[in-house]
Amino acid sequence: MPPIHPVIAVYPGTFDPMTLGHEDVVRRATQLFEKVIIAVAAGHHKKAMFTLAERIDMAREVVKAYPGVEVESFSGLLRDFVVARGGKAMVRGLRAVTDFDYEFQLAGMNRSLMPDVETVFLTPSDKYQFISSTFVREIAVLGGEVDKFVSPMVQRRLTEKVRSLGGP
């Protein structure tokens, strides 16, 4: 018997920018949950290349083909956002073993703050496991090709942003 209420999952991150790996995790999450909310962090702890509004706009464009996916921003404690949206699961992407230690600690902390919310780890397809937003930004700033790592729209926005910052 299906749940009476849709199970809401929250996929948090800075998404600066959203990569094909992120998109793959979203696709996988939509196969497990009725509703997925991509929670774009204001990024107070990281220096973002793109503004919050730009990151939200790109994420919305990337996931528009996936029904049941919404994109929202958040600042402050993720717990407050998840609880306010009725989230029952938090989706986290794992690329490699090096991600696991940090993500495991984060999951433990989140369980302490949100005992009714489960953390679900999803791995992207093999071809996306090495992609990180940090690498994509660095490659773009240095004039390299990023078309294998991001959607065409994100690639275009990266090129425009790098030019506006005085890059190649």
Residues classed as catalytic? 22, 46, 95, 133
3-state DSSP of 19-40: CHHHHHHHHHHHCCCCEEEEEE
Which residue's structure tokens are 């999803």?
Answer: 122
DSSP letter (8 states) at residue 74: E
How many Cβ atoms from other residues are within 10 Å of residue 29's Cβ?
24
Locate 161 and state its tokens. 């942003």
Distance (Å, whole) CA 7 – CA 148: 33
Q: Collapsing DSSP states into helix, strand and coil, what is residue 125?
A: coil
Which residue's structure tokens are 């991150």?
Answer: 13
How many Cβ atoms from other residues are within 10 Å of residue 151's Cβ?
18
C-alpha dihedral sign at 72, 138, 121, 128: positive
